[in-house]
Homo-oligomer: A and B are copies of this chain.
Amino acid sequence: MTAHVATLLVACQDRKGLVASLAQLLYGHGANILDSDQHSDPVAGMFFQRLRFDMSTLTTDRVSLEAGIREVGARFGMDWRLAYGTKPRRVAVLCSKQEHCLYDLLIRHRAGELTCEIACVISNHATAEPIAQHFGLPFHHLPVTPETKAQQEAAAVELIEGNHVDLIVLARYMQILSPELVARYPGRIINIHHSFLPAFVGANPYRQAYEKGVKLIGATSHYVTAELDQGPIIEQTTIRVSHKDSVDDLVRKGRDLEKRALAQAVRWHLEDRILVYAGKTVVFD
């Protein structure tokens, strides 16, 4: 139903005439702008825009439109990305033993909340197999040991490439990806960290939170970069906790946070709402 809709994301140095040029360009090709959201960062001197437009009224064609965007983009030094609604993204979900984020994504996908194709589910444990099967999805069991990590990653990459995967979602995947793998998919790997970053980086954040005695716990979804738990933050959620909560209670309460923060990030990514700049995200929500 949104097959005829395209989304243009733009980032460049801020200057006069940007909004007008893009609006005029789209209008000139007969495209009808459905949504336009813009952000100027006065500190960085940057301009960001997201334009969603109707292609069904196009008076020219895609080739011509893209040439026009390319021309305007070159003139203003724009970093731009054009996505057509006709081509849903392909997603690979990676998980370990914990099931809640996997279930959550698959249920949301089935309910139509995530406009994508789930290409496959990959896990270092076999436990997720019945879940993937229940949702009619291919499952790949890639067990890993310190010795086999390189081969396991190579097998994962083969699956990702073979399945033409656009987005890799780490749904509580408890393995640290190699720098090579991360570098291969910049801005295309989303992780969920079970703390309110930058607090409680690393292992066992719920235990850290318990020992610190915080009164709120959080979860953070972010793009994966080479530095652990330091990638651009997409979404964060929090919930109240108290002295009554054991570490297990924090883990339980945290599951709800993780599910929501991860699903929101995936949804925004799939709807081309996120731009990354200077280690941060601009989210047109």
List residues of A whose CB falls within 8 A of some B CB.
Answer: 16-24, 26-27, 30, 32-43, 57, 99-100, 103, 107, 110-111, 113, 130, 134, 196-200, 212-216, 218, 232-238, 242-244, 246, 252, 255-256, 260, 278-283, 285
Taking a contact as CB atoms under 8 Å apart, the answer to whether B134 and A281 are in contact is no
Taking a contact as CB atoms under 8 Å apart, the answer to whether B198 and A212 are in contact is yes
Given contacts A24-B23, A107-B103, contact A215 B199 (CB under 8 A): no
How many protomers of this protein does the assembly include? 4
Q: For A232, give the chain B residue with the smallest CB separation.
A: B213
Taking a contact as CB atoms under 8 Å apart, the answer to whether B214 and A197 are in contact is yes
Nearest CB of chain B from residue A67's CB, rounded to whole Å: 19
Q: Please tell me which one of the listed residues B22, B26, B218, B281 contacts residue A213 in the complex, with CB atoms under 8 A apart.
A: B281
Given contacts A16-B32, A243-B282, contact A234 B260 (CB under 8 A): no
Taking a contact as CB atoms under 8 Å apart, the answer to whether B24 and A20 are in contact is yes
Taking a contact as CB atoms under 8 Å apart, the answer to whether A34 and B26 are in contact is no
Chain B residues whose CB sits within 8 angstroms of the CB of A32 once the complex forms: 16
Q: For A112, give the chain B residue with the smallest CB separation.
A: B252
Taking a contact as CB atoms under 8 Å apart, the answer to whether A238 and B235 are in contact is no
Nearest CB of chain B from residue A192's CB, rounded to whole Å: 13
Nearest CB of chain B from residue A60's CB, rounded to whole Å: 14
Taking a contact as CB atoms under 8 Å apart, the answer to whether A36 and B19 are in contact is yes
A23, B19: Cα distance in complex, Å: 6
A180, B260: Cα distance in complex, Å: 39
A278, B213: Cα distance in complex, Å: 9
Taking a contact as CB atoms under 8 Å apart, the answer to whether B234 and A215 are in contact is yes
Taking a contact as CB atoms under 8 Å apart, the answer to whether B27 and A283 are in contact is no
